[in-house]
Amino acid sequence: MIGSGDKLWDVLVAGGGPVGLYAAIEAARAGLDTAVLEARPGVLDKACGEGLMPAAVAALQRAGVRIQRKHCFAGIRYVEGGSCAEGRFNDGVGWGIRRTELHRALRERAGEVGVKILQHRVAEVSDDRDAVVVDGRRARYLIAADGLRSPLRRSLHLEAPPKYAPRYALRRHFRVQPWGPFVEVHWHDLGEAYVTPVASDEVGVALLFDDRSRTHGDGDFEVILARFPVLAARLAQATATSAVRGAGPCEQRSRRVVDGRVLLVGDAAGALDPITGEGLRLGFLASIAAVDAIVGGRVPQYETEWRRLTRRYWWMTSALLALRRSPLRPLMMPTLCHLPAVFDRILGELGEQPVALARV
């Protein structure tokens, strides 16, 4: 337990990852006395694709977050065998950013707007009618942003069972000049490889795969990368610049995202799969919605707003996961190649910048 005297915070945020910090920044910018509770010190890293859609870029700019090291990309390129299909955003550009660089920039901005970052692992949450009590600290509201395997979601009995076979992710960086203005997605029957340019001389490679890989004992990064011979050849002489990091299972569901004075955001609120690359976009937008609900005194309505914000993500991701195991999957690449306007429209929807991002 951590002592707090009689202080009543407006908002406590459990979890100091990118979404937790972003939520705290938005709360502080709205005039709320805000602190982040995070057990791990310093800048944090995790396995992820590191490509931010245009709406996520706009969210960072809206909050005044300054990114020093990044690489812009214009859209997505799908690659399978000798075929490829390219789609471009119609509303801005995406940013490839090392997760550590993103976290550093968010911590810096949080300090500028007055957010307190306290090193502490949340253990117990209770409600005393007028406030939520977090290990002895009292706050009007708690925003839970403690990640994919959220202990808070579990302790509040908000977890819902998964519906798909488990999928996992591995990520590593390589010193090599990006070879195009796209995030590349290489397809294989057993998974995907995402190549994100994160600097003028570095790319991040994220591998997504399901239980069939683990069952056959070939869950290592190098073994999975070898499934994509074109990509493996490009990286054959490149120097690895980071250790392999893993994550999963990717699918985590919640029964609801509001529990009294507790609001769930980011992966803590639930995630299906990173196949569409929308995790941070949705986390930032949900943070804006959560803070708006707190400021407006309409916290229960955040439940409806979160479902509205994420509805398209759940439908599109479910469709892609179903397609992955469907006999129709081999038709995907030829269809996108022959109908590029369809691909552009899909990316346009993913990159769409909601009206909320225009507010300051």
pLDDT digits (tens, 9 = 90+) for 115-138: 999 999 999 999 888 899 999 999
pLDDT over 70 (residue 344): no
Over the chain, what is the mean pLDDT? 87
pLDDT tens figures, 133-167: 999 999 999 999 999 999 999 999 999 999 888 88
* Residue labelled with tokens 């490889």: 193
Torsion region of 319: left, alpha or beta (phi above 0 gives left; psi -120 to 50 gives alpha): alpha
Q: How far apart are CA 178 and CA 201, in angstroms?
A: 7
Please, what is the Cα angle at 37 between 48 and 18, to 5 degrees? 25
Per-residue model confidence as pLDDT tens digits over 310-342 = 998 888 888 777 777 777 666 666 666 666 565
| Sequential DSSP letters for 285-312 | HHHHHHHHHHHTT-TTHHHHHHHHHHHH
Helix (H) or strand (E) holding 119: strand 116-119
| 178 closest CA partner among 56, 246, 85, 95 | 95
Mean pLDDT for 175-186 is: 93
Structural domains in the chain, CATH included, are 8-71+95-162+251-321 (3.50.50.60)
Location of structure tokens 């369809």: 342
Task: Supply angle C-alpha 123, 124, 130, rounded to 5.
Answer: 145
Contact between residue 174 and residue 239 where contact means Cβ atoms under 8 Å apart: yes
pLDDT number for residue 237? 93
Residue 124, token pair as written in the block: 């117990």
Give the least confident one: 79-88, 238-247, 305-314, 343-352.
Answer: 343-352
* Beta-ladder partners of 116: 35
Alpha-carbon span 67 to 159, nearest angstrom: 34
Strands 159-160 and 253-254: what pairing? antiparallel
Question: Quick one: tokens of 316?
Answer: 């599109």
pTM exceeding the 0.85 threshold for the entire prediction: yes
- One-letter amino acid of 62: R
* Mean pLDDT of all residues in 249-268: 94
